[in-house]
Structure 1
Amino acid sequence: MHSQNNDKKIIKKFNESESLVINEFDKSGIISFAQKDVSNSFLRGTSNDFIEESTLYWTMKFNKYANDFFKKLTSDKYNFNQGMLKVFKNDMYEENNSKNYLLINSADDIKEMTNCHLIPILKNIIHAPKEDMGLLAESLVHMTLLKRKFSIDQEETVGGAIVVVIISKSDGFIWKEKKQYYSNESNKHLEYVNYYKSQ
């Protein structure tokens, strides 16, 4: 009637496909490494754990409702052809379990809803200054640190100083927190930039 293992495989596939987030134009993306749960919650407005638990919950609720429904139809209160009802019930469950209509549709609906949170961020990243993108990366790590620190059921696996590196075509490899990250002799063209920043 209901294969929880099969359900989890579909949800796992759904979650893995979301670990790499790139917009439809492939112009911006956010990739989370290692501990992705907190950053995913911020970007999508919900966590993968909640998606998994809620999808499995409503799938089981549906199966229970369907069972209760068919029990009522097969009772003496209703004058239905019992043989036909049994065939219909078996066909319905067999088709739903083989194709997982409910679970797949739920995952698609959740993905569409979470995109409402995600897409505006991805669109803004295209035009965001490098400093703002560095701030976003640092903030996501900070949020993960706080979640681990104050969650009783989780180990504190994030800690220490957070170091952010910004890599770009124009400036190359830059340490975000360092005031001077290049040689003045090798980067004469940046003297004017520093002058205006200091004003």
Structure 2
Amino acid sequence: MTAIVGILNKRGAVMAADSAVTVTNGDRTKIYNTATKIFRMSLDNPVGVMMFSSTEFIGTPWDVIFKLYRDTRGKQSFNTLEEYAKNFVDFLSAENYFSSVKSQKDYFISELSKFYYTIRDEVIDDYQRKINDMTEEEASEVDSDEILHFMLESKLKYALELYSEKDISPEFEDYTIDNLSSYGNEYFKELMELCEEDHLPTDMQKQWEESFLAYIRSQFYYNGSGIVFVGYGSKDIYPSLLPIYISGAFDHRLRYYFDHDAKQSVTTDDRAFICPFAQTDVMMTLMKGVAPDMFEIIDSQHKKSMQKVKDNIVEKLKESNVSQDVIDKVVESAQDKIQEEFQDNVLEYIQEEYIDGIIDAVDSFSIADMANMGESLISVTNLQRHISSSDESVGGPIDVAVITRSEGFIWIKHKDWFRQDLNPNTRFFE
């Protein structure tokens, strides 16, 4: 796991990251505190990246890819940060996604398998609950095949509708069911064999293909890597930050999307930003004054309390022979209004008393202040994981880098695995 953060103001941008990486082997996991997650993308231009989630792309380490990009395309200059990110995507395509035809098919099979087992487990669990709620006599008379067919059909329809609502990954906008069937026909036949082994209906290959197509095309968050570009385009006065999510590639298409909703650009009006990624809970608690899950609990409990009040009011009004139409209008409007006001007031307090104050402070920070803040945010996340009962999935040395328009990319802290005095000419810190 990972904790990284980008901090931006008019003076420049800071990137900070921990070193923990979780390696899974079957049911066993091991955490190493040796991963580098910040990289310079150009020796000539003020651009860097931070990485979180998977440290590899279809079997190739991201650090190898980043350094190869820097060596081959790092001298190119672009007007905006987004153009650098697009050029990096083009680079992946030009290098055939650092994968063979076989590895792309392996990725496809892996995604299809995850999709299948998720649907299968939900159907079997729902079926088992339904049977458990029956008497022995009722259970002995049910048509299991009919129930399973209905449940599987419903799950696949729900998946189709869910993923179809999401935006489409750029390289899959014109990817059709015919493309999918042609590329993965043999694997869908194997999927039907799995259905037979798992006692699921085997006459729904079309529905499987349609729902999986919606999933594989969508920008629904999928297993993969987050790549956060930070820095300046050649025409930028102030820094920007743009995350890209990259999952993998198959059929010579890259599954990725730019997260424009999370893009941040310093302007004369928007003067500073703090952008945490991956394990953000501790940093968001410091910024908002309340843990994200605690706010959700408070809001949920308030709704339950309002419901109890509503039930009591309804009971008293009925005792007074008030008509149901009047009761509905009075109670519903009052509950909705009070709940909305509660949420608005709490969010306004958080914004004014915590977030605005921190952002105002960052706006006035020097580069050194921002670097210290970035390191501290990662460090306090590390501390929380250390003293809690959860895995220490944030830890190890903290790397910190600064990017300014005039000085470019500068390391503030960078762990190494060798003696610098024995390697004076190393390119390690480039």
* Alignment partner, residue 15 of structure 1: none
**CA distance in 2: counterparts of 1:103 and 1:74, whole angstroms:** 23
Q: How far 1:132 sits from its partner (Å)?
A: 0.7
User: Which of 257, 276, 282 is the matching residue for 1:38?
Assistant: 282
Calculate the TM-score normalised by the size of structure 1: 0.66
Confirm or deny: 8 A CA contact 1:38 1:144 kept in the other structure. Answer: yes
Q: Choose between structure 1 and 2 for higher RCO, CA contacts under 8 A separated by at least 6 residues.
A: 2
Question: SS where residue 33 of structure 1 aligns?
Answer: strand
Q: CA 1:20 to 1:157, structure 2 compared with 1: closer, same or farther past 3 Å?
A: farther
Any unmatched runs of 5+ in structure 2? 1-261, 415-430
User: Which of 89, 92, 99 is the matching residue for 2:327?
Assistant: 89
* Alignment partner, residue 27 of structure 2: none
| 2:373 counterpart of 1:136 | yes
Question: SS where residue 399 of structure 2 aligns?
Answer: coil
* Alignment partner, residue 348 of structure 2: 112
**CA distance in 2: counterparts of 1:158 and 1:117, whole angstroms:** 25
**CA distance in 2: counterparts of 1:111 and 1:174, whole angstroms:** 37
Q: CA 1:22 to 1:101, structure 2 compared with 1: closer, same or farther past 3 Å?
A: farther
Aligned-pair Cα RMSD in Å: 2.8
Alignment of structure 1 residues 35-184 onto 2, 5 Å = 35-75=279-319, 80-82=320-322, 84=323, 86-92=324-330, 100-115=336-351, 116-152=353-389, 154-177=390-413
Confirm or deny: 8 A CA contact 1:38 1:147 kept in the other structure. Answer: yes
User: Which of 257, 266, 269 is the matching residue for 1:25?
Assistant: 269
- Which one-letter code corresponds to 2:348 in the other structure? E
**CA distance in 1: counterparts of 2:311 and 2:263, whole angstroms:** 39
Confirm or deny: 8 A CA contact 1:51 1:110 kept in the other structure. Answer: no
**CA distance in 2: counterparts of 1:89 and 1:161, whole angstroms:** 62
Q: How far 1:150 sits from its partner (Å)?
A: 1.4
Deviations 1:146-176 (A, max 9, x none): 1111112x22210111101111112211111
Q: How far 1:54 sits from its partner (Å)?
A: 0.2
Q: CA 1:72 to 1:81, structure 2 compared with 1: closer, same or farther past 3 Å?
A: closer
Number of residue pairs matched by the alignment: 152
Q: CA 1:155 to 1:107, structure 2 compared with 1: closer, same or farther past 3 Å?
A: farther
Any unmatched runs of 5+ in structure 1? 1-18, 179-199
Q: How far 1:46 sits from its partner (Å)?
A: 1.0
Q: CA 1:58 to 1:125, structure 2 compared with 1: closer, same or farther past 3 Å?
A: same
Structure holding more strand per residue: 2
Calculate the TM-score normalised by the size of structure 2: 0.32
